[in-house]
Chains A and B, each alone.
Chain A
Amino acid sequence: MSEWWTYHLSDFLLFSARTYYRLFEIYNAAIWPAQVAAVVLGIWIARLALSPRETRRGGRLAAAILAACWTWVAIAFHSRRYSTINWAAVYFAWAFALEAALLLWFGVVRARLEVERPSRFARRAGLAIFFFALVVLPFVSPLLGRGWKGVEIFGVAPDPTAVATLGILTASGCWRRGSLMFLPAIWCAVSGFTLLAMKSPVSWIPPLVAAIAIVVSAAQARGRRKRERTPSDVSGLPVS
């Protein structure tokens, strides 16, 4: 694209805010009662995340559920619904399908969603992000006047699914967290720009939450590398 610097954010918006919000209303009506199943799956992930035992098995199960949700959003939302008003949604569908494949490979096959206990702060921050996506995020836009028919629910809508995934990854000690966090974070940025172009008052939420998840995860990874570099004596205690 030549003269790209002359384009405004709104130049990339192909539809009106009203059409975008109506899209969720029609989508919700078409997939009902899948939303109930999605919320049940979200509660199941929460139960697994809060459980102090069987972290490896729980991590596998959580990854499998998240992969199923990303696959659903790729097909049912992006490919079948969003693509009717945005030709770029076809690429979004592929990105969501790729994230599902990554979750299956690293989280289920390699079982690396819970290979190391994260720091208490990272775990709490990650769980807070997950519960925010599951419980709070769906209510933000309706409470600001968008209407309840278009509520965006974890597991079937892209924003809460991406934010919840970032939360679970932050709360886990996953070795491949960076690979798994990349696409959800990118989606949060895309969604934020889309909402900003539509002058939505909540456009800042997905990018901000993604930024928090990345910063916390990066801090945790840095702490782990630091610990690994610190020489230990035979007793395992750090040498001062």
Chain B
Amino acid sequence: MAFPSFGFRFFEPPPMRDTDTLSRRAFLASVAATGAAAVLRPSAALARPAEPASRPGALLTRAIPSTGEKLPLVGLGSWITFNVGDDPAGRDSCAGVLRAFFQAGGRLIDSSPMYGSSQEVIGYGLRKIGNPSQLFSSDKVWISSGARGPEQIEASRRHWGVPRFDLIEVHNVTAWEEHLPTLLAMKAAGKLRYVGVTTSEGRRHDEVEKIMRSQPIDFVQVSYNALDRDVEARILPLARERRIGVICNRPFRRGELIQRIGNAPLPGWAREIDCSTWAQVLLKFIVSHPAVVCAIPATTRVDHVRENVGASAGRMPDDAMRRRIAAHVESL
């Protein structure tokens, strides 16, 4: 029996976006337009530049320092956006985002046991689109008891439906002294490929630094964007020194940056780095830092995920352009 409509025309709320308010036109056309001229322009300071695309319009990649394996510069986060519970429409919508992400050339998808139903929804989406082989699965362990870490990791793996995770990080460095030995043992046993730790919004950087200096981790995940640049002082240089790959969360400050920019016109210099939207400018600011392997914006929209992944292509900002982007965003 259906729930009655009471004869009213139902109001459908607008679709949720990671970058509310800003209209983002398709970026792929501009990527293609760059053609053979889409040459990376690394500055002298960018000692570990992104790998040039093998063909015009193809995505740029950056090597994971510990192995040399290459990843596209933009991945996919799932915080909030994939937590849709049992909603069939929401799950199918997320599957559509995953399909578009892989079709655009994306690889790394990030989640956590903390993100509600996100892991299950990712698993549903992966099954629905045929478990793409290019998936780079990145999850976290988030539990105060070290003894219960393996149990949680196994539950996460079942939710995803993958034989093993590529990367597991200790979420917010929770009980890292207990979890890291477990993760490193899993890696040694071939049950895991990479190990890391995460933090967000500038918290516990001292502890993160301590771990980076003392533990053989492959990745560190931090918040980094055109306004939140604390990590530039110590974390990012240390990551390069210790050959640790950096994954950047909150690239748009959960949409706040896009809202802050509002309808401000895109400056003419954005064309110099092959950007047609502010979202692309913000992403290129992040992934052009040589320590950064990947940024992980989250979205519920297919057009946005295509644009986000497309920010891995075309010319990247050099140091001067990066300073220009940061100053401009700060001035808005």
Q: Give A84 to B86 CA distance when docked, in angstroms.
A: 7
Tell me how far the C-beta of B22 lies from the nearest C-beta in chain A, rounded to whole angstroms: 17
Check B3–A84 contact: CB distance below 8 A: no
Q: Give A142 to B3 CA distance when docked, in angstroms.
A: 15
10 A-B residue pairs with CB within 8 Å:
A6-B203, A17-B16, A18-B15, A19-B16, A19-B84, A19-B87, A23-B85, A25-B3, A81-B85, A142-B8
Check B5–A84 contact: CB distance below 8 A: no
Q: Is B69 an interface residue (CB 8 A)?
A: no
Check B13–A148 contact: CB distance below 8 A: no
Tell me how far the C-beta of A177 lies from the nearest C-beta in chain B, rounded to whole angstroms: 35
User: Contacts A16-B16, A147-B12 hold; do A85 and B201 have CB atoms under 8 A apart?
Assistant: no
Check A84–B117 contact: CB distance below 8 A: yes
Tell me how far the C-beta of B85 lies from the nearest C-beta in chain A, rounded to whole angstroms: 3
Q: Is A21 an interface residue (CB 8 A)?
A: yes
Q: Give A2 to B200 CA distance when docked, in angstroms.
A: 13
Q: Give A149 to B13 CA distance when docked, in angstroms.
A: 12
User: Contacts A29-B2, A32-B3, A84-B86 hold; do A14 and B203 have CB atoms under 8 A apart?
Assistant: no
Nearest residue (CB) in A for B1 is: A32
Set A3, A145, A149: member contacting B203, Cβ < 8 A: A3
User: Contacts A14-B80, A32-B1 hold; do A148 and B87 have CB atoms under 8 A apart?
Assistant: no
Q: Is A33 an interface residue (CB 8 A)?
A: yes
Set B2, B87, B300: member contacting A23, Cβ < 8 A: B87
Q: Which residues of the partner chain A approach B56 to less than 8 Å between Cβ atoms?
A: none
User: Contacts A3-B203, A10-B254, A145-B11 hold; do A15 and B116 have CB atoms under 8 A apart?
Assistant: yes
User: Contacts A10-B254, A19-B90, A26-B87 hold; do A148 and B80 have CB atoms under 8 A apart?
Assistant: no
Q: Give A48 to B324 CA distance when docked, in angstroms.
A: 70
Knowing that A13-B80, A85-B84, A147-B11 touch, tell me 8 more A-B residue pairs with CB under 8 angstroms.
A11-B201, A15-B83, A15-B85, A19-B83, A21-B13, A22-B84, A32-B2, A147-B10
Nearest residue (CB) in A for B14 is: A18
Q: Is A232 an interface residue (CB 8 A)?
A: no
Q: Which of B10, B15, B202, B204 has the most CB of A within 10 A?
A: B10
Q: Fill in one digit per residue for B1-38: 1 if any A CB lies within 8 Å of its CB, else 0.
A: 11111101011110110000000000000000000000
B residues contacting the other copy or chain, number (CB 8 A): 32
Q: Which residues of the partner chain A approach B1 to less than 8 Å between Cβ atoms?
A: 32-33
Chain A residues proximal to chain B, CB less than 8 Å: 2-3, 6, 10-11, 13-19, 21-23, 25-26, 28-29, 32-33, 81, 84-87, 142, 145-149
Nearest residue (CB) in B for A80 is: B86
Check A148–B6 contact: CB distance below 8 A: yes
Nearest residue (CB) in A for B7 is: A148
Check B204–A3 contact: CB distance below 8 A: yes
Q: Fill in one digit per residue for B83-100: 1 if any A CB lies within 8 Å of its CB, else 0.
A: 111110110000000000
Q: Which residues of the partner chain A approach B300 to less than 8 Å between Cβ atoms?
A: 16
Q: Give A142 to B10 CA distance when docked, in angstroms.
A: 9
Tell me how far the C-beta of A197 lies from the nearest C-beta in chain B, rounded to whole angstroms: 11
Q: Which residues of the partner chain B approach A29 to less than 8 Å between Cβ atoms?
A: 2-3
Q: Which residues of the partner chain B approach A21 to less than 8 Å between Cβ atoms?
A: 13
Tell me which residues from 77 to 136 in chain B have a Cβ below 8 Å from any Cβ of chain A: 80-81, 83-87, 89-90, 114-117
User: Contacts A3-B203, A14-B80, A85-B84 hold; do A147 and B117 have CB atoms under 8 A apart?
Assistant: no
Q: Which residues of the partner chain B approach A25 to less than 8 Å between Cβ atoms?
A: 3
Set B8, B16, B203: member contacting A148, Cβ < 8 A: B8
Q: Which residues of the partner chain B approach A14 to less than 8 Å between Cβ atoms?
A: 80, 83, 114-116
Check A149–B201 contact: CB distance below 8 A: no
Q: Give A119 to B202 CA distance when docked, in angstroms.
A: 54
